[in-house]
Amino acid sequence: MKVIGIVGSPRDKSNTEYFVQYTLNELEKHGMETELIRLRDKNIHHCTGCYGCVEAKVCTLPKDDFDEVFEKMLEADGILIGSPVYNSSSTAITKALLD
């Protein structure tokens, strides 16, 4: 089994990353393969609401790192997403991934 941990904190050495990594380490102790993805190291464009994806069935924004992260999400048996809460919501980079 493979589990990926996605960290949505823009800060280096954040509490969010600590807890996601801690959880992945615990899963490794039980024989699971894990991978940590830091969204702050990725270039993922935010959705502009252009609706180009409705016609094309894929995002029509310029290519970014979304496809790389999404492919890993599809291949994983489990996905752990961690984000700090800023202004009562997840971070902008986490929202960009999920949009």
Q: Which two tokens stand for residue 55?
A: 């016609």
Number of folded domains in the chain? 1
Strand partners, 80: 5
Contact between 77 and 3 (Cβ < 8 Å): yes
pLDDT at 27: 98
Instruction: Give the pTM.
Output: 0.89
Report which secondary-structure segment, H or E, holds 78. strand 78-82
CATH number, domain of 56, equals 3.40.50.360
Return the DSSP state at 40.
G
- Domain boundaries, position 18: 2-98
Tens digit of pLDDT for each residue in 67-92?
A: 999 999 999 999 999 999 999 999 99
pLDDT at 4: 99
